[in-house]
């Protein structure tokens, strides 16, 4: 029996400008825009459904500000 890999999603809210590109490319709808604002007055992305992340890295790849990091959780 194989266990599903789990991933840790880190979003640097100071780099994120809330463009929403990461939300559009995520096949599992893991990310959402939050209500809190960063120091630049922008609503930023956050992992709203992190347990569904499949580690495809599409969000990190499309982010123009390199605000997203995805790492495999160690068991």
Cite the DSSP H helix spans in the chain. Answer: 21-25, 58-62
Q: What is the model's pTM?
A: 0.88
- Alpha carbons 13 and 39: distance in angstroms, whole number: 9
Tens place of pLDDT per residue across the chain (75 aa): 667 899 999 999 999 999 999 999 999 999 999 998 999 999 999 999 999 999 999 999 999 999 999 999 886
Region of residue 11 (left: phi > 0; alpha: psi -120 to 50; beta: else): beta
- Answer for the pair 49, 41: CB distance below 8 angstroms, yes or no: no
Contact call for residues 16 and 67 (beta carbons, < 8 A): yes
Q: Which domains does the chain have, with CATH numbers?
A: 7-72 (3.30.70.20)
Give yes or no for a contact between 64 and 15, defined as CB atoms under 8 angstroms apart.
no
């Amino acid at each position: 029996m194989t266990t599903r890999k789990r991933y840790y999603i880190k979003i640097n809210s100071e780099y994120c400008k809330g463009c929403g590109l990461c939300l559009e490319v995520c096949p599992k709808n893991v990310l959402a825009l939050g209500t809190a604002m960063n120091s630049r007055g922008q609503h930023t992305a956050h992992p709203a459904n992190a347990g569904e992340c499949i580690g495809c890295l599409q969000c990190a790849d499309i982010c123009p500000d390199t605000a997203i990091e995805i790492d495999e959780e160690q068991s």
